[in-house]
A and B are shown apart, each in its own frame.
Chain A
Amino acid sequence: MKVSLKWLSEYVDVPDDLKAFCDRLDLTGTGVEGVETLGAAFQNVVTAQVVGKERHPDSDHMWVCQVDVGPWNTDDDGNPAPLQIVCGAQNFQAGDHIVTALVGAELPGDIKIKKSKLRGVASCGMNCSERELGLGDSHEGIMILPEDAPVGVPFAEYRGLSDTVLDLEITPNRPDCLSMVGMAREVGAMYREDVTLPLFELEEARNKPDAHELVTVQIDDPVRCPRYTARVIKNVKVGPSPAWLAERVTAAGARSISNVVDVTNYILFLYGQPLHAFDYDKLESPDGKVHVIVRAAEEGEKLTTLDGEERALTPDMTVIATPERAVALAGVMGGLETEITDGSTTVLLEAATFEPGRTSRTSRNLGLISESSMRYERRVDDHPIAAYADAAAALLAEVSGGVVCPGLVDEYPLPTPSRELRFRIPRFCAMMGIDIPRADIVDILERLDCQVVAPAHAEALEVVPPTDRPDLEREIDLYEEVLRLWGMDQVPPTLPASPQRVGVLTDAQKLERIVNRAMTAAGLNETTTYSFAAPDELQKLRMAPEGLGEAVELINPMSTEQSVMRQSLIPGLLRSVAYNQAHGVKNVQLYETGVVFAAREGAKQPKERRKLAAVMAGAMDEPSWNSPAVPFDFFDAKGAVESLARELAIPKLRFKALDAQEAPHLQPGRAAQVLSGGSVLGWVGEIHPLAAQAYEAEAPIAAFELDLEALGRASRPARDYRDVPQFPAVTADIAFVVDEDVTNERLMQCMASAGGKLLDEVRLFDVYRDDERVGVGKKSMAYALEFRAPDRTLTSQEVEKAQEKLVKKVCGATGAEVRA
């Protein structure tokens, strides 16, 4: 909403300090989005007089003028002399008062005036037309001012154009503020200033037929249209608006079109009441009358709106119609066929109110947002419509030379009842946290045009809000009004006093904090990727869909690539790997925690599972002077999972090899399921090179994806205490030569079961393959064994015996041989 301060100050005192005024508007709920200084556009534009006019020596249509610009008169040497200006207009004479843009002026449309030569003759400025000044459409010639216009005065000053226009953000609950009188009242309440409202005197022409003889109005559905009024103005001469009217509507952000249209816009900006002017003659039915019908549009009914577009309508939309056809889209835009044209002489002026929700839908569905629809969708007050229709008719008659037919056709089937609200002062003060004086409360409400009945000493006020404030429905709404105008800044800050609260994290939240610590400690960097995915995402990733449910589909996605919700975090992470690699970053260590979605048949909402996933490509670091860069592989991802399991005290962590059928998205032979005992936590492995390729990422990429809920279920709240050893350990190294398919896990199990209580720790320290020394298809697994008893120092015989038993068991169970 654009508010001219010059206009506003006709109704209420506007403070001189613009910055303070804008701040106060901001604080009380009217956001100031822009401040425009009008007249700034007219810098270096002055009133002038043509003192000499001669034909251009080399042109038939141009004139070389001497122009008196008063104090700005100067020749090349800086001596006062009229300016020489070459001008192509034909509508002026020597002696005419005109408007001249001096060198340095910047006119609308980014026209910069410079000293120039036109066909060899120097020109030191430009004589301006109305259009060049942005004041209207007239481009017939230059603007001629009255003879009494002073010479050499800034044009903005001469025309009184110096003005400041605020661009205000009006919240959707405040339709009243989409008008000058509403803003005047708001400012009056802000500063506790009185407001003077404009007055229009309507003179009806007794010699003309009554409007009721000319127009009938029929409303089919009062909900769609609670009130419709019509006035008829005859003998109208359509033409340009007077300057003051053109300026007003221009300042408010509209274009000056004609006196009739400008009046409807002026009343709209002044009162927030949209109007529509029809050409009466074009509405007339064969019986010589106009029959206005407000009805639902028919399915597929066509209407060409003022903007020249033919619109296909639906029954949800309301139209203004004659018995023959639809002539306007109610509340949104008029029809082209019945609009006012230069030849129109009789105007039917509509002032009505329409259903907000329906207007909003209509304007949105048609992509047609107008000043009218913007107001109707926020609700236009039905009560003052008659007065506004009268004001509009009076003004229209005044500026168009027309006469107003007696009578207002007023169909008013559904008046909005007024409300009576209670304002409990002690409750208000208690809820705001400050005592606001009763007198201030009453004063603020009254300045907002509320009727306040305040019985002396009573704790509650009886308040009737004004009818143009649909937002004041309940007691609490009044609280807001008083608080914001009295000043939120005056309320002292406090903290809630309740003794009944404790701040704790849930187990799931604690788990995630541990996960984040473990992941960052493992050198992984947290990221966030899109929750959206492509419908074929799992195929692209080669991931088996089992257990992931069906994808959750979006009805209105932004793109096909993002048309379902993700079922795995890995695709997003692979995209980030590819992004980094494409940008020359080869070392990528990323993790993400987030939700994956699985649709459930028969349920509104999908199953949401929180997952943890990571990808590792390249190495942890570039090679350094004291540490080589070790390329990531399966074991880096596994190591991160192991660290996490330790942090979460997950017992019986196991890794079970996954084959190509079980995990097609992983490279066979480098893929494992992660388990705690029998429960599956997720998987770890190297992404299949073909899957990496599908995401334009470079393999190898080590990765894992774990289910956070499963981790939570498997994790234990605390680890058990074990006595710190009191007695020394006996260590022994032993190497087994086994077939390739004997796993470390198998050997460890055998050693653990045979070693019994005395075997305290087993650590694999070497894996060695050599066709000659170890044998083809064999490997040597070297373990450091640590034997210890909690209560004594072990004897060498005890250790030997235990070790023998261990060797026997391992060799017997796995076919291993001890390597000498």
Chain B
Amino acid sequence: MAIVDELAALQAETLAAIEAAADTAALDEVRVRTVGKSGTLTAYLRNMGSVPADQKAVVGKAVNAARNAVEEALEARKTALAAAELEASIDAAAVDVTLPGRSQRLGTRHLINRVTEEICDVFLGLGYTVADGPEVETDYYNFTALNAPADHPSRSLQDTFYVVDRSGEAASVRGESDVLLRTQTSGVQVHAMEDQQLPIYIVAPGKVYRRDIADPSHLPQFTQIEGLVVDKGITFGDLKGTLDYLCKAVFGPDRRTRFRAHYFPFTEPSAEVDVSCAVCGGEGCRMCKGTGWLELLGCGMVDPNVLQMSGIDPEEYSGFAFGMGVERAACLKYNVPDLRLLLQGDMRFLRQF
């Protein structure tokens, strides 16, 4: 049989084999068998030297044509098979997308510290710095420098934790000790007024202690944030605007505030601030005991005595101060029914925030 005929037969056979290959592996086998290094079609190419000269042109052309046809067919079949195989593997890899994902479980912040940080961030944005101070304070910084009368009931052993004084100095106030667990973070403000350059724009968050038995609405240890501004030209309107901004930032833009005149030794004039009730929107409901308002914090213009005690001229400077219980703010925001949850470390509680 002439070489050309042999080639035609081989080509036909190979094309049929390609068409019949069921998967890419079988196809590859066909490729190796025909156009591989020692493939049948390759052999013809290699043997071109032994083809008589007069047939060289014809045979060469036929070999190349066969080879091109085979390679084209291989490529086409390969593409088709690959697509089918990919599709099959994709089908096989489908998962139940409702199965839980795989993740590193993130921890959580404590509710009170989260709220504290949120409030501090509001004030950072307003250009305040965050100040802190010791939890064991002297009577002077906790009470006296804040204009609290010597006989004020809050200074009693009933209400304030006193600490053994190791200085060897005689106690000047109660007969027991001038050292106590701070009942408010106001001492930080006094230190700031004594030590810092004016103007002062600070918030002081921190733990405070009062002798209350732990129950759903009291803790002997809780968290306060106080703020202090001392500058030239500070007005009561500035106090209102600042706290109004705070309430909206923490509780939501549709909440309103109202200022009720009140009395604190540290400030004059003094006010308590209520935020409108979220449950009824101010209409009055059980949450707010029908008033439409929830008590949030105390504030006022810094009493001139307090400024003077810290060496600031009240004729030149004025200021405002406020103090809020973070637990109270958090409870208003999250409706936590029992404050003791905050100190138990119950994972089922902590994990919620």
Contacts and interface: CB of A to CB of B under 8 A. Distances in A.
Interface of A: 26-29, 31, 171-174, 356-357, 360-361, 364, 377, 430-434, 471, 474, 476-477, 479-480, 483-484, 488-489, 491-498, 500-506, 509, 513, 516, 519-532, 552-558, 562, 565, 572-573, 575-577, 579-580, 583, 585, 587-591, 594-595, 597, 599-606, 608, 620-621, 624-627
A431 B107 contact: no
B351 A360 contact: no
B268 A360 contact: no
Contacts, number: 275
23 contacts: A26-B260, A29-B262, A430-B235, A477-B268, A480-B270, A489-B259, A491-B240, A495-B126, A498-B231, A503-B128, A505-B130, A506-B129, A513-B117, A520-B107, A523-B106, A527-B110, A528-B113, A529-B343, A556-B157, A580-B346, A585-B348, A621-B105, A625-B100
A496 B229 CA distance: 9
A28 B263 CA distance: 11
Contacts of B88: none
A590 B345 contact: yes
B211 A556 contact: yes
Interface stretch (B3-11, B32-40, B176-184): B176-184
Given A496-B238, A506-B130, A520-B109, A602 B269 contact: no
Contacts of B347: 525, 580, 585, 587-590
B179 A605 contact: yes
B322 interface: no
A488 B303 CA distance: 17
B176 to A, nearest CB: 5
B318 interface: yes
Contacts of B181: 554, 565
Interface centre among A520, A526, A577, A620, by most chain B C-beta atoms within 10 angstroms, is: A526
B121 to A, nearest CB: 9
B207 interface: yes
A100 to B, nearest CB: 34
Contacts of A493: 237, 240-241, 244-245
A531 B237 contact: no
B99 interface: yes
B148 to A, nearest CB: 11
Contact of B261 (A488, A575, A621, A627): A488
B134 A605 contact: yes
B123 A503 contact: yes
A503 B127 contact: yes
Contacts of A529: 343, 345
Contacts of B346: 576, 579-580, 583, 585
Nearest to A579: B344
Nearest to A618: B347
A576 B345 contact: yes
A580 B220 CA distance: 22
A526 B201 CA distance: 29
Contacts of A626: 99-100, 102
A629 to B, nearest CB: 11
A506 B178 CA distance: 30
Interface stretch (B16-24, B48-56, B75-83, B166-174): B166-174
B128 A528 contact: no
Contacts of B108: 520, 525-526
B162 interface: yes
Interface centre among A174, A479, A552, by most chain B C-beta atoms within 10 angstroms, is: A552
A605 B137 contact: yes
B249 interface: no
B177 A608 contact: no
Contact of B201 (A471, A501, A602, A605): A501
B164 interface: yes
Interface string B227-255: 00101111111101110110000000000
A555 B162 contact: yes
Nearest to B267: A480
A561 to B, nearest CB: 12
B241 A526 contact: no
B44 interface: no
B238 A433 contact: yes
A606 B158 CA distance: 23
Given A496-B231, A555-B176, A579-B345, A432 B262 contact: no
Interface string B301-332: 10110000000000000100000000000000
B350 interface: yes
B125 to A, nearest CB: 7
A606 B100 contact: no
Given A491-B240, A494-B235, A604-B179, A531 B110 contact: no
